[in-house]
Amino acid sequence: MFDGGGRLLSGNELGSAGKTDAPSGQGKTRHMRKNRYQIQLEKIEEDGSRGASASFEFENHDDLFRIMDFMKSCGHFRDERDAVQFALGLKLLGDAMMRNRGELFRDFEPAFVSLMKKLKGRRNPER
């Protein structure tokens, strides 16, 4: 489910590895489908009323729902909500890091790659 660089792969990537859009013998380029998503966040005040909110759209080549399902079943989390929070947070952070390479993430990148390799390697044997 991950590539050699520690990036989560979508089902589309896993199922289409090596496929091209061109007939055999013609220029081979890999077509990556982009999925569109919208994230909406609302603060719920102590009295139950809705407070501040934020919403944004983004594109990603991964099927985030498939990744969330994988995280729910991997055995690393106490409940599904933790698994979903982790999956979304990890994907959003990883994408932001890739688009904004530089000094800010330089010290964190080795730990991030190590975490991705652990996720790729095995399910949690303790659960």
pLDDT tens track for 41-66: 999 999 999 999 999 999 998 899 99
* pLDDT above 70 coverage of the chain, percent: 70
Average pLDDT, the chain: 78
The model scores a pTM over 0.85: no
Backbone angles phi, psi at 40, to 5 degrees: -130, 130
Cβ-count burial of 111 within 10 angstroms (0-12 exposed, 13-18 middle, 19+ buried)? exposed
Residue 125 or 41, more confident:
41
What does the pLDDT average to over 117-127?
Answer: 63
Cα–Cα distance for residue pair 11/18, rounded to 1 Å: 14
pLDDT tens column, 17-40: 333 333 344 444 456 779 999 999
CA–CA gap between residue 81 and residue 2 (Å, rounded): 22
